[in-house]
Chains A and B, each alone.
Chain A
Amino acid sequence: MASVKLAQLRRTFGTVKAVDNVNLDIADGEFIALLGPSGCGKTTTLRMVAGLEAVEGGQIHIGNRNVSTLPARERDVAMVFQDYALYPHMTIAENVGYPLKVRGVPPADLQRQVQLVADRLQIGGLLERRPAQLSGGQQQRVSLARAVVHKAQVTLYDEPLSNLDTKLRLEARAFLKHLQREVGVTSIYVTHDQAEAMALADRIVVMNAGKVMQADSPMAIYRRPANTFVASFIGSPPMNLLPCKVDQAARILRFSDGQSIQWSQSVPAQASDEVTLGIRPEHLHWHAEPAEERLGAEHFVTQALGGESVIVLRLGEHTLAIRQFTDDVPVLPSRVWLSFDPNRVYFYGADGMLLS
């Protein structure tokens, strides 16, 4: 096990900046999730760490070795692929043991280690089968086993659960979390599924267009998105974002549809003309009657989801969502007035960055 350091990492494909100046320090034993929309450069970053993609600029350190130009086989990393990449012509035992075999581990020792890891991953009884005879969930665990047996310094995961159906995915997620607690190996985990990242990672790195948008603990990312991109990417539904103008002297917020409301709560000093107000749907509340600090909106539709309801509202050309935790379906008048939880409102500047 070792720490990993990515410094000013860059990679372009033609004109596409797939990875654009990524800096990241990963502590020994830390589990990092790279999260972002499809095409934001997560896989490319991971493959550069693995040595499967060339490092165009910047450096990668594993422990105290600069591995930037080393071939994959000399980097001592393990990798779990999205399609599992289990060799169809080998048995499960041969698949799992392959990294050891390549290293010249003697057969008896190899067999013992394979059995140990396989048992831990609950595939100990499948060792003589071939990949095609296994279910998707079992294949997935075989690919995990191959990475675990490797005892590499870093384990890399490229969307390892995305080929499983929803139920299996939840099971596998719990499994992975458990395994991580036992093994505790430094991990980089690529996913576009925020729930997966939230559930598994010690720290989430949100990426967009090749750049790191925010790197923080899951709860910090959820609570205080550092910019409008993260705000609108994390959460379902994501954070409400409303452009408005702040009149610091009169303590008034003016919205684009012409409404203005009294605002007694604190406003960051830099907030002025072009700001965006952000508030999570669970921190927004509706009322049937107007008041000085309430914002008027039209009720659009209500989606009852079981334990919660999502109420969709329209304010001019903007759409807002309220999450209300109740198993009654709330009934709204066509026009409602909104109030905001104090201390849960964030202001973002014209550049999209959080003002504080």
Chain B
Amino acid sequence: MIQRPTILSRRMSLAFVTPAAVLIILFLIYPFFSIISMSFTNQSLTGAAARNPQFVGLENYTNLFDFENWMSRGEFGSSLWITVQFVFGSALIGQAGLGLFIAILFYRRRDFFRHLVYTLAIVAWITPDVVIAFAWFAFLDPFTGTLNNVLGLFGISPLDWLLDYPLVSIILFNTWRGTAFSMLLFTSALSSIAPSYLETAQVIGASRWQQFKDILLPLLQTTIATDLILITLWTFNTFTPFLLTGGGPSFRSELVSIYTYRIGLQRFEFGAGSAVAVVVMMINLILASIYLVIARSRRPR
């Protein structure tokens, strides 16, 4: 192998990369292996197991997948099922659907309304979690909350959203919160489609629906796939709804991320918490691999 002249020598490149590498190894690579090894122990913060963790084999996993009662409230299966509904409703339907809708609605349009909608969607996306959580707490308030007030205008009687419909609430919340990403992704994909594609179809006399179905949708295919995978990955791992509902009432909005937090960092059962984390990481690994495959196939060369 010939040593190609590079701008940085080998030694210099390593010097450049090392500081970041150290932190990444500490906070990314080490946790990965640490979680896996911890998941086979009964380690905890307090008690005998803290000083002297025992190897417990697959016990943490068999507890998780105890199919007798894993679907009862506050158990892993139930939490997983809640998460699946949450991802489906807020990411796949909510964020991707609404994001695509907005991007197409404002396709080749640069007016005040577009500016307004984009700015507001982005503000909803970048405002810090705790502020957003409080905003929604007020928005959903059963007595004076804005949502009930608005629904009242249409003759719908007030609902106690967080108490009676916690899952619906966090789905709405997460849709609102994260639509901006899909919207921006689809917008940039649309803007790279040459206008001549649609103009050709128009000259032939295709209807709007045909233009959408036959031209735009096929061209957006990989972008849509990319978007769905990414937002599924993030939504699956998001912790923010905790700030709105705390996972309750009685675990009815307890996503897997919140479940992990409760077991690992409220009950300090590190072993059991790690087992959940390992399962979560496996699911992430599958999603991320799909993403990489799509991203690679998209790149020329």
Direct A–B contact in complex, judged by CB atoms less than 8 Å apart: yes
- Chain A positions within 8 Å of B, measured between CB atoms, are 51-54, 56, 71-72
A51 close to B2 (CB less than 8 A): no
Min CB–CB distance A300 → chain B (angstroms): 34
B2's nearest neighbour on chain A, judged by CB, is A54
User: Is B207 an interface residue, CB under 8 A from the partner?
Assistant: no
Q: Which of B20-39 contact A (CB under 8 A)?
A: none
Could you count the A-B residue pairs with CB atoms below 8 Å apart for me: how many are there? 11
With A54-B2, A54-B5 given, name 9 new contacts (CB 8 A): A51-B5, A52-B5, A53-B4, A53-B5, A54-B3, A54-B4, A56-B2, A71-B5, A72-B5
Pairs across A and B, CB under 8 Å, 11 listed: A51-B5, A52-B5, A53-B4, A53-B5, A54-B2, A54-B3, A54-B4, A54-B5, A56-B2, A71-B5, A72-B5
Min CB–CB distance A20 → chain B (angstroms): 15
Cα distance A54–B2 in the bound complex, in angstroms? 7
Contacts of B5 in A (CB 8 A): 51-54, 71-72
Q: What 1/0 flags go to B1-19 for Cβ under 8 Å of A? A: 0111100000000000000
Cα distance A297–B286 in the bound complex, in angstroms? 68
Q: What 1/0 flags go to B117-135 for Cβ under 8 Å of A? A: 0000000000000000000
Min CB–CB distance B32 → chain A (angstroms): 35
- Chain B positions within 8 Å of A, measured between CB atoms, are 2-5
Cα distance A72–B2 in the bound complex, in angstroms? 16
Contacts of B2 in A (CB 8 A): 54, 56
Contacts of A51 in B (CB 8 A): 5
Min CB–CB distance A15 → chain B (angstroms): 15
Q: Max chain A CB contacts within 10 Å: which of B3, B4, B5?
A: B5
Q: DSSP class of A's interface residues: helix, strand, loop or mixed?
A: loop
Contacts of A53 in B (CB 8 A): 4-5
Contacts of B4 in A (CB 8 A): 53-54
Cα distance A174–B2 in the bound complex, in angstroms? 40
Q: Max chain B CB contacts within 10 Å: which of A53, A54, A56, A72?
A: A54
Contacts of A72 in B (CB 8 A): 5
Cα distance A54–B4 in the bound complex, in angstroms? 5
Cα distance A54–B6 in the bound complex, in angstroms? 9
Cα distance A54–B3 in the bound complex, in angstroms? 7
Q: Which 4 A-B pairs have the closest CB atoms?
A: A54-B2, A54-B4, A56-B2, A54-B5
Cα distance A71–B7 in the bound complex, in angstroms? 10
Min CB–CB distance B43 → chain A (angstroms): 50
Cα distance A53–B3 in the bound complex, in angstroms? 9
Cα distance A51–B2 in the bound complex, in angstroms? 13
Cα distance A52–B5 in the bound complex, in angstroms? 6
Contacts of B3 in A (CB 8 A): 54
Cα distance A53–B2 in the bound complex, in angstroms? 10
Contacts of A56 in B (CB 8 A): 2
Cα distance A53–B6 in the bound complex, in angstroms? 9
Cα distance A56–B5 in the bound complex, in angstroms? 12
Min CB–CB distance A264 → chain B (angstroms): 56
Min CB–CB distance A210 → chain B (angstroms): 16
Min CB–CB distance B13 → chain A (angstroms): 15
Cα distance A56–B3 in the bound complex, in angstroms? 9
Cα distance A71–B3 in the bound complex, in angstroms? 12
Min CB–CB distance B250 → chain A (angstroms): 60
Cα distance A144–B2 in the bound complex, in angstroms? 32
Min CB–CB distance A50 → chain B (angstroms): 9
Cα distance A56–B1 in the bound complex, in angstroms? 9
B4's nearest neighbour on chain A, judged by CB, is A54
Contacts of A71 in B (CB 8 A): 5
Cα distance A51–B4 in the bound complex, in angstroms? 9
Cα distance A159–B33 in the bound complex, in angstroms? 52
Cα distance A52–B4 in the bound complex, in angstroms? 8
Cα distance A54–B177 in the bound complex, in angstroms? 52
Cα distance A242–B5 in the bound complex, in angstroms? 46
Q: Max chain A CB contacts within 10 Å: which of B2, B3, B4?
A: B2
Cα distance A237–B31 in the bound complex, in angstroms? 68
Min CB–CB distance B20 → chain A (angstroms): 25
Cα distance A299–B27 in the bound complex, in angstroms? 77
Min CB–CB distance B7 → chain A (angstroms): 9
Min CB–CB distance B139 → chain A (angstroms): 47
Cα distance A71–B4 in the bound complex, in angstroms? 10
Min CB–CB distance A271 → chain B (angstroms): 44
Min CB–CB distance B194 → chain A (angstroms): 24
Cα distance A54–B5 in the bound complex, in angstroms? 6
Cα distance A306–B2 in the bound complex, in angstroms? 53
Min CB–CB distance A156 → chain B (angstroms): 15
Contacts of A54 in B (CB 8 A): 2-5
Min CB–CB distance A297 → chain B (angstroms): 43
Min CB–CB distance A81 → chain B (angstroms): 14
Cα distance A53–B4 in the bound complex, in angstroms? 6
Min CB–CB distance B4 → chain A (angstroms): 5
Cα distance A72–B7 in the bound complex, in angstroms? 10
Cα distance A56–B4 in the bound complex, in angstroms? 9
A11's nearest neighbour on chain B, judged by CB, is B2
Cα distance A72–B219 in the bound complex, in angstroms? 46
Min CB–CB distance B188 → chain A (angstroms): 25
B9's nearest neighbour on chain A, judged by CB, is A71
Cα distance A51–B5 in the bound complex, in angstroms? 7
A70's nearest neighbour on chain B, judged by CB, is B5
Min CB–CB distance A55 → chain B (angstroms): 8
